[in-house]
Chain A
Amino acid sequence: MKKATVKRFFGFVVVLLPAMFIVWHALGSVVAAPAVALSGAILQWWLPELISEVTLNGTHMVIAAAVGELNGALLPSAEAGNQLAFQLDTRTLSYSIPFYAALHFATPMHSSLERFARGLLILWLLIIIGLIFTSLKDLMLGLGALFFSSSVPPADAIALGYQFSVLMVPPVAPVLIWAFEARDVGLFPQLIETPVKKDTPQPASPES
């Protein structure tokens, strides 16, 4: 196994990134399906009075509400004669997967596939959390007071959770997971060993 160097690593990442994005795009709904299935099940169990069905349409998660709209009023869908639906783009969260794949496969390491699978599992869990927060945000904005009649978190918590899940988690989580999985590769040994502080007097190394 070749020794990892920073230059070689970034070179591989730049080469692998387009390939991973092409694979991710081609896989389409396959990438989103497990996360949508689980987040949909959680949402339906949590808010059965608000959500009647969660489905996957391509790469979009579709939440069919249990209510519809009639003359500006929200009513049970049977009374309203229609059903409100909310559509989420799962790719705004799942682009973390090709990013993680590029970082991972650009780094030579033992048990590479096993570590990749572990990282992928964590990313899917984070995508599920992101889908739940995005769904809550859409339902909150779409249903207003009716939404808060259910047992849901405060509006500020939903807003913050949504922003963090969309803006921070997809680009940052792949880097953190990769850094953890590649901790023994030697790209950044300083993160494992205690570094020497410059302002602390140090004895000269006999090897130097």
Chain B
Amino acid sequence: MSRFIIIFTIVLVGLFTLEMLEPVQAAAIQPFTSWLATISAGLIMPFDDAVVAYGRVIEHTVAQFAVSIEAGCNGVEATIVLIAGVLAFPATWRQKLAAIALGFVAVQAMNILRIVSLFYLGQWDLAIFTWTHLYIWPVLIMLDVLVVFMLYLRYLSRQSVSPATA
């Protein structure tokens, strides 16, 4: 377990520091966050034509309410945690890359649900929006990461015994 903890910590801190660098923010994180806002708005628009998206902002033109997706709200940190966990655990590179790709999709699906839910919670009650945004959703996103990681471990465990049972 100590090997896992050491690799996990190094990858976690390393990727997080990399993410915070200004050139990385400008070249990758902010464009990705804008894309996430566009995707979220695109999912809402068929059901609510008063919604527009520009940059990292999603706005409801009737309710006069807008949310801006900032660092910590784009699922990148959760993905970094997943990557650190997957890389720290011994498996083939193919298994690791597949877990990271599928995990990324799972985290971002949950994150889009978070953005859409917060967008409407904010129009309803700002106090509940703040509470949910700051305390509840970070926990749910991390639980999502934990589910993906435990399913990955279970998959690896089954793979390791399958040659003998086949």
Residue positions of A touching B, CB distance < 8 A: 6, 10, 13, 17, 21, 89, 91-92, 95, 98-99, 159-160, 163-164, 166-168, 170-172, 175-176, 180, 183, 187-192, 194-199, 202, 204-205, 208
- Do B139 and A171 touch (CB < 8 A)? yes
- B151 / chain A contacts, CB cutoff of 8 Å: 6
Which of A99, A164, A196 interacts with B139 by CB under 8 Å?
Answer: A99
The 9 closest A-B pairs by CB, nearest first: A196-B160, A208-B164, A171-B142, A95-B135, A204-B164, A205-B164, A167-B72, A171-B138, A99-B139
Once bound together, how far apart are the Cα atoms of A202 and B134, in whole Å? 48
Q: A197 to B96, alpha carbons, bound, how many Å?
A: 12
Say yes or no: B91 contacts A198, CB within 8 Å.
Answer: yes
Q: B92–A199 contact, CB under 8 A?
A: yes
- Asked whether A192 lies within 8 Å of B16 as measured between CB atoms, the reply is no
Within the complex, which residue of A160, A172, A195, A197 is in contact with B20, where a contact is CB–CB below 8 Å?
A160
CA distance A18 to B138 in the complex (A): 14
Contacts of B81 in A (CB 8 A): 168, 171-172
- Tell me the complex Cα distance, A198–B93, Å: 11
Inter-chain CA distance A201–B161, complex, in Å, is 12
A4 to chain B minimum Cβ distance, whole angstroms, is 11
Chain A residues within 8 Å of B5, by CB: 176
Q: Is the CB of A194 within 8 A of B90?
A: yes
Which residues of B132-166 are within 8 A (CB) of A? 134-136, 138-139, 141-143, 146-147, 150-151, 153-154, 156-157, 159-161, 163-165
CB–CB A160/B17 < 8 A: yes
Interface SS of A by simple majority: helix
B residues near A (Cβ < 8 Å) are 1, 4-5, 12-13, 16-17, 20, 71-72, 77-78, 81, 89-92, 95, 134-136, 138-139, 141-143, 146-147, 150-151, 153-154, 156-157, 159-161, 163-165
Cross-chain pairs A/B with CB under 8 angstroms, 9 sampled: A6-B150, A95-B139, A99-B142, A189-B157, A192-B1, A195-B90, A196-B161, A197-B91, A205-B164
Residues of A within 8 A of B91 (CB): 195, 197-198
Given contacts A95-B138, A208-B161, 12 further A-B pairs with CB under 8 A are A160-B17, A163-B71, A168-B16, A171-B81, A171-B138, A171-B141, A176-B5, A192-B1, A197-B92, A197-B160, A198-B160, A202-B160
Main secondary structure of the interface of B (DSSP, over half): helix
Question: A21 to B153, alpha carbons, bound, how many Å?
Answer: 29
Task: Check B156–A195 contact: CB distance below 8 A.
Answer: yes
Bound-complex Cα distance A46 to B156 (A) = 49
A contact residues around B163 at 8 Å (CB): 202, 204
A6: B residues at CB distance < 8 A = 150-151, 154
Which residues of the other chain, A, contact B165 by a CB distance below 8 angstroms? 208
Q: Are A167 and B153 in contact (CB under 8 A)?
A: no
Q: Which of B71, B90, B146 contacts A167 (CB 8 A)?
A: B71
Docked complex Cα distance between A136 and B95 (Å): 42
Indicate if the CB atoms of B161 and A198 lie closer than 8 Å. Answer: no
Instruction: Give Cα distance in the complex from A199 to B160, angstroms.
Output: 10
Give the chain B neighbours of A95 by CB distance below 8 A.
134-135, 138-139
- CB-nearest residue of chain B relative to A189? B157
Contact of B77 among A21, A99, A168, A187 (CB under 8 A): A168
Please tell me if the beta carbons of B139 and A10 are within 8 angstroms of each other in the complex.
Answer: no
CA distance A197 to B159 in the complex (A): 9
